[in-house]
Amino acid sequence: MKDLIEALQILSKYTDSAYPTGCEHDIMHVYVDPSKVTAEDTERLGELNFRPSEDNEYFYSFRFGSA
């Protein structure tokens, strides 16, 4: 739980959206543009199991998206 909270706190610095998350089968998405996130924060997010999407439009996690 602490890892999820830390990841969301990091990502919250980069969005003011009222609805920044979404889920689909086993994947949690956070709609933050990875190109706007610092390298340091991106590295830490990776350690917390959040990765930028292939199209570089959001971050996702299989760890926290399990149903």
Q: What's the structural domain count of the chain?
A: 1
Residue range 5-64, pLDDT digits in tens: 999 999 999 999 999 999 988 999 999 999 999 999 999 999 999 999 999 999 999 998
Domain with 23, as residue range(s), is 2-61
CB atoms closer than 10 angstroms to residue 4: 15
What is the greatest pairwise CA distance in the chain? 30
9: nearest Cα among 63, 45, 58: 45
How far is Cα 26 from Cα 37, in angstroms, rounded to an integer? 24
- Judge whether 52 and 59 are in contact, CB under 8 Å: yes
Q: Is residue 54 part of a domain?
A: yes
| 52 in a structural domain | yes
Pairing between β-strand 27-30 and β-strand 21-24 as defined by DSSP bridges: antiparallel
Is residue 49 situated within a structural domain?
yes
Q: Is the pTM of this model over 0.95?
A: no
